[in-house]
Copies of this chain bind each other. A is one copy, B any other.
């Protein structure tokens, strides 16, 4: 193998697997629309371009397939996942399902430590809402919701959320922008926090239903505009 490849700087000691590096490269390329939705990816071309053999490319592609970023057809290879409005609705409905459950579990033993952590995260989100990149805002947003689910204490639930997280990044990236109003983001998350602090399950449910509903409507509308 050549001493340098297109994945990253080979001057840095590469402790990590080639598979992970290729997976990261593919993920970034898909998120950044370098690869168009529905586009066919050739294993040989990717391997040649990255300076690695087909084996790690293949494994990375399988990984992204399990994450829903690629789909494979037997004997035909991998294609970039193309999402339509219906699938987007399904993803957000599943997200609502998971987050409702997490909120309900969490409100039972919500304590000061958890509240402080979440509060700090919202503050971070407020900071980055001003001038940082869109992807940074999205990441901090996802961190908040991931914290809520992690605090719920069900690791399998967290794994399910991580699974759809990749798809969420994809569809959010597809519409090219995050929430319209920077202020609405923080407000919306403060409401979630207050609902948790109130200890009222019904209020939690209302808050998360509203929160996810707004996000879903925004994304579905965005994808509708993107559609030719």
Interface residues of A, Cβ cutoff 8 Å to B: 17, 55, 58-59, 62-63, 66, 74, 87, 90-91, 93-94, 96-98, 100-101, 105, 154-157, 160, 163-164
Contact = CB atoms under 8 A, between A and B. Distances in A.
4 closest Cβ pairs, A-B complex: A90-B156, A97-B101, A66-B66, A90-B154
A94 B63 contact: no
Given A93-B101, A160-B160, 5 more contacts: A87-B155, A93-B105, A94-B160, A97-B98, A97-B101
A157 B93 contact: yes
Contacts of A163: 160, 163
30 contacts: A17-B74, A55-B55, A58-B59, A59-B62, A62-B62, A62-B63, A63-B66, A66-B66, A87-B155, A87-B156, A90-B154, A90-B155, A90-B157, A91-B156, A93-B101, A93-B105, A93-B154, A93-B156, A93-B157, A94-B101, A94-B154, A94-B160, A96-B101, A97-B97, A97-B98, A97-B101, A100-B101, A156-B164, A160-B163, A163-B163
A63 B59 CA distance: 10
Contacts of A17: 74
A100 B136 CA distance: 34
Given A17-B74, A74-B17, A157 B94 contact: yes
A98 B97 CA distance: 7
A160 B96 CA distance: 13
